[in-house]
Amino acid sequence: MTNSIDVIKPFTDILEEESIHNVQIIGGINTVALMNPETFINFKAKEVIAPDSLYLPTIRDDKSKTLRDLDALVLSSNPIDVARVERLMDVTVGAELEQSVFSIVSGDKLRKQLAHPFGMAAVLAVVSDRYGRPSGIDLPEGMVSSGGMVKSLFPFAVPLEPESMETWSLLVKNMRVPIPNPAMSVINYATRSITGVRAKDADKIDTMATSVLQKAPELRDWAVDGPGAKQLGLGLLLRSLTPNHAHVDYFGTGRPIVPLSDLADNEMFMLPNRSDEEKRLMIAETALKAKLISYFESKQAFVSWWQNHIEQKIDAIVKHK
Q: Is 138 helix (H, G, I), strand (E, B) or coil?
A: coil
Between residues 218 and 199, which one has the greater pLDDT? 218
pLDDT at 311 over 90: no
pLDDT of the residue at 223? 97
For 69-81, write each residue's pLDDT tens digit.
Answer: 999 999 999 999 9
d(CA 120, CA 69): 28
Per the CB < 8 A criterion, the answer to whether 312 and 98 are in contact is yes
Q: How many Cα atoms within 13 Å fall on the side-chain side of residue 136? A: 9
Nearest in space to 58 (alpha carbons), one of 19, 20, 9, 130: 9
d(CA 174, CA 178): 14
Distances (CA, A) of 22 to 7, 99, 110, 186, 285: 21, 17, 23, 20, 36
Which amino acid type is present at position 275?
A: S
Q: DSSP character for 18?
A: T
For 203-252, write each residue's pLDDT tens digit.
Answer: 899 999 999 999 999 999 999 999 999 999 999 999 999 876 667 899 99
Q: Is the dihedral of CA 121, 126, 127, 128 positive or negative?
A: positive
List Cβ neighbours of 210 (8 Å cut-off, separation of 6 or more): none
d(CA 91, CA 181): 27
pTM: 0.89
